[in-house]
Amino acid sequence: MIKAPRYIALLAALAALSACAVATRIDAAGDVHAFLISIRDGDRTAFDAHVDRGALKEQVRARLMAEAAKRHDDKGDMAAIGVLLGKPLIDAMADRLIEPDVFRAVAEYFGYSAQTPIPGQLVIAQSLRPLDDSHVCVARRKDAPCILIFRNEDGVWRLISFEGDPKMLRTPKHF
């Protein structure tokens, strides 16, 4: 049986941990809100302020290379050679995919189109899942896998990883 002082201490510790998670989500939500606004408005400067371009490029590049290798898996060593020769092309593709216009399709997946008002910080905070003290993720539902991962970098939450379907990252069609 837990004695009253231990029980109170345990409840206080749980409340403190819960408060930390809520504070982390609210803090991150402000930058996620700004990120969504930058996508909606096509504001490259604001977008870049909320993206760790180096980390995201490395992650996108690795995913593109893995997809390319998977497509040629039946050819063995030729797939590896093809990926190496295609590295400059994959690097250029990764650079092109880290743009506000490209991430507009991801925002639309979450229900945010140009005509949809972006919810406020508290609403966004409810949809964030803390992974630890410096990482949060955005998923379609609470029990769904993460799609976007943000990291706190010197007080600014920046996108570091896209875990969604690579087909979601598409460049706008120009006529």
pLDDT in tens, 27-67: 999 999 999 999 999 999 999 999 999 999 999 888 877 77
156 and 49 Cβ atoms separated by less than 8 Å: yes
Structural domain for 153, as ranges: 4-51+98-168
Domain membership of residue 173 (yes or no) is no
Number of domains in the chain: 1
Q: What is the mean pLDDT of residues 149-158?
A: 96
Task: Supply the pLDDT for residue 5.
Answer: 54
Q: pLDDT band at 76, cuts 50/70/90?
A: low
Domain membership of residue 157 (yes or no) is yes
pLDDT in tens, 140-152: 888 889 999 999 9
Domain membership of residue 89 (yes or no) is no
Task: Supply the pLDDT for residue 12.
Answer: 37
Domain membership of residue 88 (yes or no) is no
How far is 98 from 91, CA to CA, in rounded Å? 11
* 10 CB-side CA count, 13 A: 6
Domain membership of residue 69 (yes or no) is no
What residue spans of 42-172 are helical by DSSP H?
Answer: 44-49, 53-71, 77-85, 87-97, 100-109, 121-127
Domain membership of residue 124 (yes or no) is yes
* 17 CB-side CA count, 13 A: 7
